[in-house]
Amino acid sequence: MKVFNAGIAVALIALSSITTGLAQAGQETARPTVAVLATGGTIAGTAAQDTQTTGYKPGVLTASALIASVPALDKVARVQAEQVANVGSDNMDNQVLLKLAKRINEVLRQDDVSGVVVTHGTDTLEETAYFLNLVVKSDKPVVVTGAMRPATAIGADGPSNLLQAVTVAASPEARGRGVLVVLNDRIGAARTITKTNANALDTFKSSSGGYLGSLVNQRPVFESTVGKRHTTQTPFDISKLDSLPKVDIVYGYQNDNGYMYDAAVAHQAKGIVIAGVGAGSESNFVLPAVRKAIEQGVVVVRSSRTGSGYVPADEAYPGLLGDDLNPQKARILLMLALTVTQDQAAIQDMFDTY
């Protein structure tokens, strides 16, 4: 009897190890592949003290080190690490933007890749995310994430944000929604998400339309969709570009000066975005300089320095309407628009559509 029982036990153990093996093999084939493209920022930043949340060095840790620090990623996806840059996002420029976007399009053409995560400094994260939202040519998820606290800080948010970003990028539900921004349990749309606080953890807010969803127990829950067109629905093809047209932003304020516009024109700006007061209003002090810039062929777009709300048509103020894009995102769209056309009506149409 004892022998019989032992025999059954051995058989059961053998059976269970075969089943576990099969389950693991099944899990292995079921796990999607997500490419993590790292560009630097606080998520890759380190400080001398674990209490430091300012005065640290961004863009220190590599893509592989970030991934290795979150073992839970392994259950969610097969993660491929790639370093595209390692800078604070204040130093992001058009060259890195183009390099990043081209690489994402290349990676997404691979059949075995389900989605992409970009790790990025939070300061200009929304600009990169919106740029990608306009130039990525795939329905596969592209998720941009970052962190407000360096990797060495007590309560660092990077590991959790990275896990959530990879989870969303691996999710079939995230397909076709445009580029997403995931931080702090929230899923935002690249077009509307914006950094609202210089220090706080919950800094990313959706300027209009709310968030697209959130993560509950690491499960993405989508609540809404993006109305404006994006990714495969835009005419922007950056595959052959190695630079972007120069577009500057000029800020509106009491007693402002026309010479800021003159300076932009003198430096060969092809476009100027006005961060106007209120609903994109321009003062009498700058109007002559704005009109002169337009006469010289510069495309001027009005936006609001409030960072949200729509800019209405108003004959008193020259310039195209930036819809509800904040100035920094209006600059991204104007750069791309100018790669396609100089026609004012066509550019206005793009601002209404994307």
**CA–CA separation, 230 vs 353, rounded Å?**
9
- Cβ-based nearer residue to ligand ASP, 126 or 324: 126
How many Å apart are CA 24 and CA 267, to the nearest integer?
60
Min dist. Cβ of residue 282 to ligand ASP (A): 30
Tokens, residue 264: 């932009």
> Which window, 120-128, 167-175, 278-286, 320-328, contacts ligand ASP (CB under 6 A)?
120-128
State the Cα–Cα distance between residues 21 and 35, nearest whole angstrom: 26
User: Is there binding between residue 42 and ligand ASP (CB under 6 A)?
Assistant: yes
Q: How far is the CB of 20 from ligand ASP (least distance, A)?
A: 41
| Distance between CA atoms of residues 121 and 184, nearest Å | 15
Binding ligand ASP by CB under 6 A: which of 121, 178, 280, 327?
A: 121
Cβ atoms 165, 117 nearer than 8 A: yes
Count other C-beta atoms under 10 Å from residue 341's C-beta: 14
Give kind and range of the element (H or E) at residue 64: helix 63-68
- Strands 271-276 vs 299-304: parallel, antiparallel or unpaired: parallel
Q: Which of 32, 146, 178, 319 binds ligand ASP (CB under 6 A)?
A: 146
Catalytic residue flag (residue 119): no
Task: Output the smallest distance, CB 352 to ligand ASP, in A.
Answer: 31
By CB under 6 A, what part of segment 48-77 binds ligand ASP? 58
Phi and psi at residue 205, in whole multiples of 5°?
-125, 155
The distance in angstroms from the start CA to the end CA of the chain is 76
122 is a contact residue toward ligand ASP (CB under 6 A): yes
Backbone angles phi, psi at 103, to 5 degrees: -65, -40
The catalytically annotated residue of 53, 122, 145, 167 is 122
* CA–CA distance, 306 with 140 (Å, rounded to integer): 33
Site residues for ligand ASP, 165-224, by CB under 6 A, read none
The residue behind tokens 């793009």 is: 350
Binding of residue 158 to ligand ASP (CB under 6 A): no
Residue nearest to ligand ASP (CB): 121
Q: Which of 76, 105, 108, 123 binds ligand ASP (CB under 6 A)?
A: 123
For residue 122, indicate whether it is catalytic.
yes
Residue corresponding to tokens 């093999």: 25
* # chain residues binding ligand ASP, by CB under 6 A: 11
**Which residues in the 88-117 window bind ligand ASP by CB under 6 A?**
88-90
Least CB distance from residue 317 to ligand ASP, whole Å?
33
Tell the smallest beta-carbon distance from residue 184 to ligand ASP (Å). 12
Residues that bind ligand ASP (CB under 6 A): 41-42, 58, 88-90, 121-123, 146, 148
Active site amino acids: 42, 122
